[in-house]
């Protein structure tokens, strides 16, 4: 048995009563193989998985592909805005409800400790509502910026795309006409 496992308290057996207020140490029977602590095989720290906008990272940089990718980003930001707007409403409602509850507890002349704790919750909910509102503004700005990028891309490359799509011959490689 490892040194780490020997310092751990043994798990109570079935039907054994456990008293959390008990301060006396009870000698545990020999630990069964099920209760031993097994260290992780991989000691490297776990990497956090970051979720990103669902845009395929292919090497297709054609006009339609870029427009489609920008449209996917715009739709994802619009969905995020919808979720954040709902979260903003709920956070502000919860903050108001907690504040009203604190005043109700004060009116009922309960102990001041409960009034203060409830008021702290109301303050924390208010701060969370402000943070959600800031995040909502950032998401709205990101959506607006993505729309502007899509329009600018269409403005700069749309005419070239129409020319290339309108002819039946392939476009020569860059530098073909330079001699």
Q: Would you say residue 44 lies in a domain?
A: no
- Decide if 169 is inside a domain: no
Residue 93: which pLDDT band, with cuts at 50, 70 and 90? Answer: very high
**Interatomic CA distance for residues 90 and 92, integer angstroms:** 6
What confidence score (pLDDT) does residue 25 get?
Answer: 52
Q: What whole-number percentage of the chain has pLDDT above 90?
A: 46
Compute the chain's Rg from CA coordinates: 31
CA distance 59 to 104: 61
Average pLDDT for 47-60: 62
Rounded to 10°, the helix 63-107/112-166 angle is: 170
Number of domains in the chain: 1
Per-residue H/E/C for the chain: CCHHHHCCCCCCCCCCCCCCCCCCCCCCCCCCHHHCCCCCCCCCCCCCCCCCCCCCCCCCCCHHHHHHHHHHHHHHHHHHHHHHHHHHHHHHHHHHHHHHHHHHHHHCCCCHHHHHHHHHHHHHHHHHHHHHHHHHHHHHHHHHHHHHHHHHHHHHHHHHHHHHHHCCCCCCCCCCCCC
Nearest-5° angle of CA 22, CA 28, CA 30? 170
Please name the residue that has the structure tokens 């909910």: 125
pTM of the model: 0.57
Rounded distance between C-alpha atoms, residue 127 and residue 102, angstroms: 17
In a domain, 39, yes or no: no
Which residue range(s) make up the domain with 147? 63-163
The percent of residues in the chain predicted with pLDDT above 70, rounded, is 68
> pLDDT grade, residue 92 (50/70/90)?
very high
Domain contains 121: yes
Asked if 54 and 80 count as a contact pair (C-beta separation under 8 A), the reply is no
With respect to residue 155, please indicate whether it lies within any of the assigned structural domains: yes
pLDDT at 55: 53
28-42, 43-57, 105-119, 165-179: which has the highest mean pLDDT? 105-119
Is residue 27 one of the residues assigned to a domain? Answer: no
The answer as to whether 101 is a domain residue is yes
Q: Does the residue 145 lie in any domain?
A: yes
Closest C-alpha to 77, from 24, 118, 137 = 137
Range with the poorest average pLDDT among 28-32, 62-66, 113-117: 28-32
For the residues 155-179, what does the mean pLDDT come to?
82
Q: Residue 90: is its pLDDT beyond 90?
A: yes
């Amino acid at each position: 048995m490892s040194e780490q496992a020997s310092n751990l308290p043994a798990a109570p057996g079935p039907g054994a009563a456990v008293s959390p207020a008990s301060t006396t140490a009870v000698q545990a029977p020999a630990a069964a193989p099920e209760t031993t602590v097994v260290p992780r095989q991989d000691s490297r720290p776990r990497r956090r998985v970051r979720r990103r906008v669902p845009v395929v990272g292919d090497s297709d940089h054609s006009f339609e592909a870029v427009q489609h990718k920008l449209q996917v980003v715009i739709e994802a930001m619009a969905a995020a805005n919808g979720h954040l707007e709902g979260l903003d409403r709920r956070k502000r409602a919860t903050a108001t409800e907690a504040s009203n509850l604190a005043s109700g507890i004060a009116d009922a002349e309960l102990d001041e400790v409960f009034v203060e704790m409830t008021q702290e919750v109301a303050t924390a909910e208010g701060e969370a509502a402000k943070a959600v509102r800031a995040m909502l503004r950032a998401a709205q700005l990101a959506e607006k910026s993505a729309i502007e990028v899509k329009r600018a891309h269409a403005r700069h490359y749309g005419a070239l795309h129409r020319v290339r799509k309108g002819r039946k011959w392939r476009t020569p490689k860059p530098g073909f006409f330079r001699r």
